[in-house]
Amino acid sequence: MARAQTRYVCQQCGIEHRKWAGRCEGCGAWNAIVEEVTTRRAGSGAGAVSPGRALALEGLKGRRAAPQRRLTGIGEFDRVLGGGLVPGSAVLVAGDPGIGKSTLMLQASAALGTDHGNSVPGAVYVSGEEATDQLRMRAERTGLGEASVALLAATSINDVIATLEGLKPAKRPALVIIDSIQTMYADELDSAPGTVAQVRAAAQALIGFAKRTGLTVIMVGHVTKEGQIAGPRVLEHMVDTVLYFEGERGQQFRILRAVKNRFGPTDEIGVFEMTDGGLGEVKNPSAMFLGLGANAPGAGAAPVPGAAVFAGIEGTRPVLVEIQALVAPSTLAAPRRAVVGWDTARLAMVIAVLDARCGLNLSAQDVYLSVAGGLRISEPAADLAVAAALVSSLSNTPAPGATLFFGEVGLSGEVRPVNGRDGRLREARKLGFHSAVVPPGRDGGPGRKSRDFKIVEVKALADLMALFGVERNRPRPPAGGNIRSLEREGNGRTGTI
């Protein structure tokens, strides 16, 4: 006979507590502990252990061939997945509200449905937030009204799995989309949908169903205001792939980024453009991110100060993007630092190096930095491009036209080499760039010319300042002044210091 059991679980980290408290001892979150009532069979206490059954062991080299990936028909989505959907895998897609997660999932299910024909749907779209009529309205708006997609509006995970298992093997789809996992609940639990227990139970049931039947399950998840996936952290460890769908509300670009993938790379991105007809693929992200930037080739306008083109690598694909900086005199006691698309701590480090090693007075200036197009950059290779944009804005001197920058800046002011140099330069040549400012290569040579493309190698930030016609000022002494000069001054006046 089942009996009720009360426990207190933190909704942020999933740690159980003996009693309610205002602050979780595990993660430090306030007002995150919720009382949950679960059922447990009588006699299933800590001392009762149910006997298991013996299982057959298998070798590393199996007899059956590896399962073939299934392409969804959306190239950018397949790229992030590592080459398509893996049968029997579980994928978690998370993003801000209104960013386009449901639209992307509906387009992927519609594109996959063309492989099965009209009699057998290629995907089942399970919605716990919208009714079937609302889903049809979304499909009509995006031009997918005739796609072969089966719709289901339900929130009980037991009903969803029973419905899918009731289909004949020949009639089963290849993809099941759950939108969203926070709306699903298990009947055996008394807690509300969205709690740690419900999300964990629903995800575990779906993952077991995917492994058992060989179907691919995609779960759509919500994110918190900090940008983390809502629900227990264990949810990210349970699934095979975790994708983040991100982008700025004021930009039309959307980035699908893989942060975990057991079957492919974890640093790949897919670029989409939000249009009236849904999400469109961006085949050449570099051309889209550069847009009509004044420093891009073929822009038709004179270069402007404070802009530098950075050649980055996202996954296996080089991406060129423009970095913009504005340095203005500050009237505040603490100068303002506003950053969009880059790490604030990294910007503070570059400013400190320019101030201490090159003598630039940036510590008393307001600095605004933005990565054009809504892309977020995390690799250290952007240090040199950021430094070039800052020097260009401070000196009011534009960067050389059709020139890109990449390189890592050290604390001593040196410019260090980065990976993927040849791929970055090939992408620059393809887009019409004529020169590049890069760290020294393996040969350590100075600037070289390769037909119509010039490579300028800089070893330190002082060499970068020379490109903008800025003379290197005398570096500032460390805090506390020069010790030897203080000793000499002290011996002459008041004694030894």
The length of the chain, given as a count of residues:
497
Beta-carbon contacts of 381 under 8 Å, excluding residues fewer than 6 positions away, are 310, 312, 313, 406, 407, 408, 418
User: Residues 274-299: what's their mean pLDDT?
Assistant: 75
The pLDDT, as a whole number, for residue 4 is: 63
What is the pTM (predicted TM-score) of this model? 0.77
Centroid of chain to Cα 448: 36
- Between residues 391 and 402, the one the model is more confident about: 391
**Nearest-10 Cα torsion for 141, 147, 152, 158:** -140
395 vs 267, residue with greater confidence: 395
Q: Do 467 and 403 touch, CB atoms closer than 8 A? A: no
So what's the pLDDT on residue 299?
Answer: 56
- 374, 248 contact by CB (below 8 A): yes
Q: Does residue 444 register a pLDDT over 50?
A: no
Look over the chain and give the mean of its residue pLDDT values, rounded to a whole number: 83
CATH level 3 topology of 289-467: Ribosomal Protein S5; domain 2 (3.30.230)
Kindly state the helix (H) or strand (E) to which residue 75 belongs, with its residue range. helix 75-81
pLDDT given at position 229? 75
CATH of domain 75-283: 3.40.50.300
Q: What is the pLDDT of residues 212-252, one digit of tens each?
A: 999 999 999 988 776 677 666 778 889 999 999 988 766 78
Tens-digit pLDDT profile for residues 157-190? 999 999 999 988 888 888 999 998 999 999 888 8
pLDDT tens-digit map of 125-140: 999 999 999 999 999 9
Average pLDDT rounded to a whole number, residues 457-480:
76
Closest to 438 (Cα-Cα) out of 465, 426, 456, 414 = 456
Inter-residue contact 108 to 270 (CB < 8 Å): no
User: Distances in Å between the alpha carbon of 486 and those of 170, 490, 496, 497?
Assistant: 87, 6, 9, 7
Q: What is the pLDDT of residues 212-223, one digit of tens each?
A: 999 999 999 988
How far apart, in whole angstroms, are the C-alpha atoms of residue 446 and residue 413? 18
Residue 313 pLDDT greater than 80, yes or no: yes
| DSSP for residue 378 | -
Confidence of residue 490 (pLDDT cuts 50, 70, 90): very low
> Strand pairing of 241-246 and 253-261?
antiparallel
Higher pLDDT, 141 or 61: 141
